[in-house]
Structure formats: C-alpha cells, structure tokens
Structure 1
Amino acid sequence: MTKGFEFSRRSMIAGSALLLGAGAPALGKELVAPQKRPPFPIEDDNGRPVDPPPPGYYDVARRSGPGLPVTAETERGGWVTSEAAVDRKGVRYKGPGPAPANLLPWANSDSARVVTQGLIPPVKPLLHLHLRDTIVCLGGDGNYYMTGSTGDDIWKANDGVELWRSPDLKQWDYLGLVWSIERDGVWEKQWSVRKGDYFRAVWAPEIHFINGNYYICHSISRSGIAVLRSTTGKAEGPYVHAFSPDKPLRNGIDATLFGDDDGAVYLTYAGAFEMVRLKPDLSGYDGDWQPIALENPDPDPAHHNKKCVHRGFKDIGFEGATMFKHDGTYYLGAVDRFVNNRYSFALATSDKPFGPYRDRYESVACGGGGNIFKDKEGRWWCTIFGNDDEAPFREKPGIVPARMDEKGRLVADFTPREV
C-alpha cells in the first residue's frame, strides 16, 4: 500500500482503542474539534479524478473492524457522519471509547421516537459497530452474512468491503476486508473530488447468494456501480468483477440484485429509476435497461424527499433500492423521507419484474437503506441502521421484525420475537 493510502499513526491507535472500548469518555460528551480547511472549493463536486491525498491527510479509520457486543451502554447512541457544508468533516458520537476526530454535539440524535410513537417495536443493535446501509443475507451454507458502508466517515474514504458471519443472527464473527479497493479494485482505485474534498469510498455494498454463488454489488459516489463475483463459491471470496472491470456499469449509487425463481437476475440502483436483466451467471446483460415509474404516484410532499418532488412524484424513492418477491408478487423499494424526515423504505408492487408498479407506501418506519429478508424459519426482517433522529440508535446494524399484513404490505411486527 502506498503512502497515500496509509492510516496515520494517530488514527490507527484511536481506531484500535475504540474497538477495544478503552478510555471511554462520558456518553454523549460534546466537544468540537478544530475543522480542517478543505483543499478544494466546495463547488468542486463533479467527481473529477485527482492524485491521492498527501500522507497523513486523513485522521479517521477507514475500516470499522469487528465491533463490540451490545451492552446497556451501547443499546443507544452511535455515530452521525455529516456531509453538510456547515459541519463537514465532523462526526457526532455517543458511546464508549475515544471519540472520533472533529467531534460534534450529539443533541437528541437517538430520540427513539419511532419506538415511543408505536411505529416499530423496541430494537437493539446487533453489534456496537459503525455500519451504515446494513445488509443481511442468508447464504447457501445456512449462515447469515452482513455487510454495509464501513469506516469512520464514508464521505471521505474507506478501504473496501468488510463482512460478518452469523449462524443465528446473534453471534457475529468478523471475516475482515473481503474486497479491497487498493488490492482488488480497477476503476475504483481512482481518487476524485467530492464536495471539495478528496474522496474514495465504497458505498452500500450488498452481498447476495444467487444461483449457487455469492455476489457483491457496490457503488462509489460520482463514479458508478459494479457487481463482484466470488471465485471460490464462498462468501468470503476472493471477489473479482463479474463483468465490465474497467468501467462502472452505470453512474449512480446503491446497486442491488434480485434473483428470481426461474434463475433470472435483475439489477437496479439508486431510487430504482431503471432496471436491467442479467445473465443467470451474472456475466453480462441479458437485455436493455428499462425505465421504472409508478403507475399511480403518491403526490403528498410529506412522503417524499425534495428530489422526488422535482420528478412529479413518479419515483418510488430517491436512493437505497431493494427488491424481493412474495407469493408471486414483486416488491420494489427505495428509500424516501416520510413525516418527521423518517428514512424509510417505500415499497410498491407488481406482477412483473419491470412493472408497472403501483400502490406505494411507507414500509417499516426508519428501516431504509438496507434490505428485507427472510430467516431460516421463514420470518420477515427489515434491516435498520439509524439514519434520522427518530431512530433508537445511529449508524449501527439492526433488524426489525416484520410481517405481511392482510393487504400484502410488509409492515413492522409487534408479536414478541427473539432474534
């Protein structure tokens, strides 16, 4: 690894101490460290390629590591990494261990109003672990696999795709960095400028077990999306590009895959604005990209991010696409902002993969930016990572019990259930 990609000594020590839970400050201690002046104008935001940052430029860990067991102290709290111009390079943190660099006030970031309002049952993190965009997949070997956006601050940089394994959704083993930008990447190795700063980070990686093999899809903001294939048939890889190694498949973020009952595979991304069918071995396209739009748009501005308003409410959401099937019906979802800025999946249904989709609704409240899956017992779950102040914890992996209601809608399940 070249000097441009090294951790600083200070960030390695701090990151190790955090994972061990050493030197814990008071929960919610609010300090504001001096801000670094960004090297480029904030208007410089088109993803143009640049040379790597100078050695020691970053003071954040670029991996999240194994995490810590959840205790009474870590059932709440977490991280809030902000890219807002007023506090960029700042991170809100509440929990044990040394605080991240450039600590910002916590305020009421983990209000848990989504629980106290009765929208979801009480839920705890799976680990005290800095993980955004939580994905949980039941693999072909009977284990569950989990991944997501890792590192102290994905608005800056991270090292690639980290992976965890569990036999029961309770005990999680850390499998490490299974795909490295520097070791395994091709076009992903290029540094760029995002909002006036150096940037190179994998966003929202997802692991899928499809047609007998494991695949990881990922995205890099301002660059595009990719699909990776395990060369061993094992979840831990190693992974290579399934196809198109030299350039992104599409310019966008939040790629997701769906394997149908007949072996067909579908790829979409971002707000599920378009979709394409892939070959069963995911070696290339099996058709053209097709646009996706709602047959009956939801015109209530309180149910949308402003980006959706600009497109006439015809979108399911604006990012975090997901897709699954139940009783012959296709469910296509994307994250949107609902009442009180809740970051939740909007779901719509169709009897065909490409639609038309209809009857959009807010699914599990605050359960956006991850995925929806069935466990070994056939029970539904929706991942949650806490991306708004309504959530009970922030930027940690969690799962919310879910069920299909009498209308065929996926909703939170309040029936007592143990993980």
Structure 2
Amino acid sequence: MTPFPSRRALLTAGAALVTRPLAVWAAQEKPPPAPFTSPADVYSGISGPGEAVVGDGSGGYRSGYEGLMYKGGKPAKKGWFTAEWGNRATGYAVKDGLLPPIRPLWDLHLRDTVITVGGDGRYYMTGSSGDNIWDRNDGIELWRSDDLKAWDYLGLVWSFDKDGTWQKAWGKRRNTTMRAVWAPELCYVKKNYYLTFSLASGAGTGLLKSTTGKPEGPYVTANRPDARLTGGIDATLFEDGDKVYFTWGRGGSIALMKDDMSGFDGEPKKVKFEKPADGSWTRDEVAQEGASLFKRDGKYYLGGAAFYKGRYSSVVAIADHVYGPYKQWHEAVPCGGGTNYFRDKSGGWWCCYFGNDDQSPWREKPGAVRVEFAADGKIVVAKNQPFAPPK
C-alpha cells in the first residue's frame, strides 16, 4: 500500500484513467493546508471499537501527507483537513455497473482491511488503523466477529512502545517523520496465529507469532535474528499443505518458510508471470502492491492492488504451481484494493475491501465483497451481495 497518488499523477496517467469523476474532483479540490507543526496533538494512533453502519455507509476518510479529511455523521476532529469532500467517493463503480450496491461491514476508520478465519471458526479483522497512517499509529489492532455483521474490539494486540524491538525507530518518508504499521494481516497457519506487517517509514516487513496460541497474543518476533524479513511493504503468508509461503509488495517473489517459521528456507524465488497479450497490463509483476495469495480447486491465485482505469482494484493472475507461470491476469474486484480473499464457514468466497479511489462508494472503511468463479477460473463479483445498502 502506497500513499494516495497526487492529483497531477492521476490527471496525467493517460487514457487508461476514467476521467469523468477525476475532472470534477480536480476542479473542486482546494490547495492543502500548511503542514501540521504538532501532529501528536491532531492524530490518534488507534481506530478503536467502531460501531454498526447506519444508512449506506457512504463518505468516510481520505488520509494522506497533507492531512485527513472526513465526511460522515460525526463532526471532524479538531485539526483535521476540512476542505470540501468533493468527488472523493462518487460510487461511479456502482453506478456504471462494475460493482453491485455495497456498503461497509462496520463504521470504522480502517485501511487495507484483511479478514481471516481463525482456528476457532471466528472471523478476525486487521488493517492499517489510526487517524492517519502517513504520520503515526500505535501498533496493530484486532477485531473479532461470529457472523461478519457485529464486531468485538480486542484492542491493541501489538504495540510499538510495549512490544517493539527494531520496529521502534521513527523514520522519514517524503520529509515527514513517521512511525506506523502498514497493512498488518492476522494469519492462522501451523495451528498458531501470526501477524505479518510492514512499516510506513520503509523500514521493511516482519513477522510476529502469538506466544499463547490465541489471536490476541501476546506477540513476539517470529523470525531469527530479530530483524526485518524483507524490504518493501504489504507482507502476507499462505499455507499450502505442510508448507507456508511468504510474499510481499507486488508479489514478484515468493519465499518458502522454514518449518519452525523462524525465517526463509532458502532465497525467495522470482515468480514467473505472463503479461496479457491484449496489453491491459504491462508491468512485469502481477500488481503494484498489496500482495495476496490463495488456492482454490488446485489453482493458485496471486494478486494485489493496482490503479486500473482510475480504480484502486484487486487484480489477480492464476497458475498451476505456486511459483507460476501466472496467466489470465484480470481486474477481479473493481475498487477492491490490496487486501485479501477468504473462504467463509459456509464455503463462500469473499474479497476484502476498503475504498481507496474516487469511484468507490466509500473510503477507508472495512468491507467485504462476495465473489464467484467463472468457468475459466477468473474471479467475478457476485450480483447478490449480503452487505448491500438498505433500499
């Protein structure tokens, strides 16, 4: 997950962008305010419990280096950037038929939403939390649900100040002093709970393990030595039989973990990827960031997030082997972003969602979109969505 691109980058990205909402947005956006001199007085490092969604859940948050914007039923906190919301969540993806009507799972400020099914059969949700992750947060927060509808807050399960080691150092990115966890994921592998994470400062990715076998921890560094695993961002784990794999960022490389999860069993292997012949995707890796990896009916699905036609979407390619070659690249969930796919207790498949572009119906709130699989294995969004706005 990278910071939201500049207005100039979006407006000059070429014909691939959908310009209708962007043009209106550019006309209405005001210059950002002067940088805050005391960010600690402005931003909270946690998102907190959240609450049930009222109405269609539209609006939300737009965080970034220039500050934080909010549109919703509550007053914005003192010090937040309060320029006009404009077209930052138009819902054009729904209006144009790319997505059926959907709404958030929970009213909560959360980016990079990830949901996993734990060993107890419950759903656990993590993500980039806190008021503004381009400045700071306190660590990793966790939520739990029995039915995806109501969420209990388990609190801060890993803290920079209480639990951090090498992660404690403050860093700089774009001349901004910052310390925040980006895109943490709770993973249940080898009958224990692990947290993958990356740091906003660019310090790299890491892996934590529960010392109690419980999702709420406490957590300690899993890998030895106690240091980062890789550079970059957006780490994830995938369990396949008795093997566990690690990938990150664009999904360009995949590493086999040691049996005791203390590090890599050899060097990461570069993924084989065949770009689509129609030119719809020209990068050498499947995605731009937000790597995800899962398996269905013997096929491996490697994906992540990509700005595609102006949407921050979930994109995926398919292979017969974990290292590829991956083919059939496609935009799986428009506006889906760099999150993950999970299978619910009834066997249905979902893509997590948080909203990170102007075509989304909301921004920076946790969501989940029901998905299905076409005859050729490609992912398609189900027409019937359990989390739809009230009529």
Q: Deviations over 1:70-119 (max 9, x none)?
A: 102x6101001123xxxx2x222101223142223210211111111111
1:407 aligns with 2:376: yes
> TM-score, normalization: structure 2?
0.87
Residue aligning to 1:329: 299
Q: CA deviation at 1:188?
A: 0.7
Q: Deviations over 1:132-175 (max 9, x none)?
A: 00000011101000010001100000000000000010110000
Q: CA deviation at 1:418?
A: 6.1
Name the SS for the 1:115 alignment partner: helix
For the aligned residue pairs, the C-alpha RMSD in angstroms reads 2.0
AA at the equivalent of 2:253: E
Name the SS for the 1:136 alignment partner: strand
Q: Report the identity percentage.
A: 46
Residue aligning to 2:61: 79
| Cα pair 1:186 1:245 within 8 Å, conserved | no
Q: CA deviation at 1:211?
A: 1.7
After superposition, where does 1:258-297 map in structure 2 within 5 Å? 258-260=238-240, 262-297=241-276
Q: Distance in 1 between matches of 2:176 and 2:104?
A: 31
Name the SS for the 1:320 alignment partner: strand
Q: CA deviation at 1:296?
A: 3.4
1:319 aligns with 2:283: no
AA at the equivalent of 2:236: T
Q: CA deviation at 1:128?
A: 1.1
Name the SS for the 1:366 alignment partner: coil
AA at the equivalent of 2:74: G
Residue aligning to 1:36: 35
Compared CA separation, residues 380 and 190, structure 1 to 2 (3 A) = same
> TM-score, normalization: structure 1?
0.81
| Cα pair 1:345 1:368 within 8 Å, conserved | yes
Q: CA deviation at 1:266?
A: 0.4
| Cα pair 1:298 1:314 within 8 Å, conserved | no
AA at the equivalent of 1:98: P
After superposition, where does 1:92-241 map in structure 2 within 5 Å? 92-100=69-77, 101-221=80-200, 222-241=202-221
| Cα pair 1:149 1:202 within 8 Å, conserved | yes
What count of residue pairs does the alignment treat as equivalent?
357
| Cα pair 1:299 1:313 within 8 Å, conserved | no
Identify which of 48, 51, 59 aligns with 1:65. Answer: 48
Compared CA separation, residues 402 and 71, structure 1 to 2 (3 A) = same
Q: Distance in 2 between matches of 1:146 and 1:292?
A: 28
1:91 aligns with 2:68: yes
AA at the equivalent of 1:224: G
Name the SS for the 2:197 alignment partner: strand
Structure 1, unmatched stretches of 5+, are 1-29, 39-53, 305-311
Q: Distance in 2 between matches of 1:111 and 1:372?
A: 25
Q: CA deviation at 1:217?
A: 0.2
Q: Distance in 1 between matches of 2:207 and 2:36?
A: 35
Identify which of 313, 325, 328 aligns with 1:344. Answer: 313
| Cα pair 2:235 2:249 within 8 Å, conserved | yes
Q: Distance in 1 between matches of 2:32 and 2:304?
A: 36
Name the SS for the 1:182 alignment partner: helix
AA at the equivalent of 1:97: K
Q: Distance in 1 between matches of 2:132 and 2:159?
A: 17
| Cα pair 1:214 1:235 within 8 Å, conserved | yes
Compared CA separation, residues 336 and 212, structure 1 to 2 (3 A) = same
Q: Deviations over 1:303-340 (max 9, x none)?
A: 55xxxxxxx6221111000000011111100211111x
Q: CA deviation at 1:298?
A: 5.6
Residue aligning to 1:24: none
